[in-house]
Amino acid sequence: MIVARIGVRAERGYDVVLGRDLTGELPAMLQGASRAAVLYPAALEERASQVVERVSAAGLRALTIVLPDAEAAKTASVMEMCWSALGESGFTRNDVIIGLGGGATTDVAGFVAATWLRGIRVIQMPTTLLGMVDAAVGGKTGINTAAGKNLVGAFWSPSGVLCDVDALQTLPKADLVAGMAEIVKIGFVRDERILDDIERDPIQALDPSGALLVDLARRAIEVKAEVVSADFRESAAIGREVLNYGHTFGHAIERTEHYSWRHGEAVAVGLVYVAELAHLAGRLGQEDVARHRRVLSLLGLPTSYTPGRWRELHSAMAVDKKARGSVLRFIVLQGIGNPVALDGPETALLEAAYEAITE
């Protein structure tokens, strides 16, 4: 059952399909290929077998590539492993990659597709809420290095995205909660009704069998599709960059914690950090800062961080890909729904915002 079909205009247009039991949509996306490589983590072996059956039934030869879990997959050595497997199987420009898994898996699948023979098709099948509303949708692909997160990558649009919400039924609660951080982010930068609905019924907002979570996901995807369509390569003065709200500090947490935090957990703290930063800079009222904490807390997301880590976090932010030379750049709010850029805030201001979120 298809709930929504959301078009994205990029260097190539594609649809994000949201619904239940969507594997029947896959064969049409495979037309013209003779081989399909399914990239997935070991925990999704059963679901991957179902995808392979669909691929084989469509007349394609299927190759399976098992990836490490989560951020451990986003390394140069894993990329080399994938490239070797494609080469040994004789993958051509007509063939296709399928990314089945969470945001890390779809990041890797997209980057493999972007780099193999200078670009082949990729179909994304996210199985986490984070992947559905964020990682798999916008065409950003990449891996991590010792210097930081997602510093090596490419813009490469998928040829289609299948968001099957049935996959969320078996998703661990902590992963479902973490994915909500990206939906909350969209609420603050573009769609305040998302925040209203979460505050009204946070329990239903976390129920994958109900209608509210699906509706929240749909609206978040629609906003991301609209923003990406207008500024695919993040080249506008302030376009796609608004989707980075909370991410500079969030990525710094991930790096400082050696990627032991879930992405959404780190982004949740990052949202509170930039809200405090905006308040200190005279951009955002105290009630709106408090609302960041309230909405995130209702969902069970963290809103504070450990004291005494400022030097590590500041160093990590300095190599964030959103920095401009030596100048740190943040997306902050000048009121809910009004994101603006804050370039080069003083170090004392940055540290004061950090002190405001420490326990």
Domain with CATH 3.40.50.1970 in the chain: 2-170
Task: Classify 195-357 by CATH class.
Answer: mainly alpha
The answer to whether residues 94 and 32 touch, using CB atoms and an 8 Å cutoff, is yes
CA dist., res. 186 & res. 197, Å (int): 13
Total residue length of the chain: 359
Q: Any idea what the Cα angle at residue 240 is, between residues 238 and 246, rounded to 5°?
A: 90
Q: What is the mean pLDDT of residues 164-179?
A: 94
Which has the minimum average pLDDT: 44-58, 233-247, 252-266, 289-303?
Answer: 233-247
Predicted local confidence at residue 234, as pLDDT: 72
Beta-carbon neighbour count of residue 234 at 10 Å?
19
Q: How confident is the model at residue 203 (pLDDT cuts 50, 70, 90)?
A: very high
Predicted local confidence at residue 15, as pLDDT: 92
The DSSP line for 45-76 is HHHHHHHHHHHHHTT-EEEEEEEPSGGGG-SH
- Whether residue 126 is predicted with pLDDT greater than 80 in this model: the reply is yes
**What's the CATH code, domain 2-170?**
3.40.50.1970
Domain with CATH 1.20.1090.10 in the chain: 195-357
Name which residue leads in pLDDT, 188 or 135. 188
DSSP letter at 128 equals S
Residue type, 165: V
266-317 pLDDT per residue, tens: 999 999 999 999 999 999 999 999 999 999 999 999 999 999 999 999 999 9
- Give the list of residues 6+ apart from residue 292 with CB closer than 8 angstroms, or none: 188, 271, 272, 275, 303
Name which residue leads in pLDDT, 2 or 280. 280
Which has the minimum average pLDDT: 102-111, 130-139, 229-238?
Answer: 229-238
Q: What is the pTM of this model?
A: 0.92
Q: What is the mean pLDDT of residues 47-57?
A: 94
Predicted local confidence at residue 236, as pLDDT: 63
CA dist., res. 86 & res. 22, Å (int): 26
The answer to whether residues 137 and 224 touch, using CB atoms and an 8 Å cutoff, is yes
Q: What is the mean pLDDT of residues 52-79?
A: 94
Average pLDDT, whole number, for the chain? 93
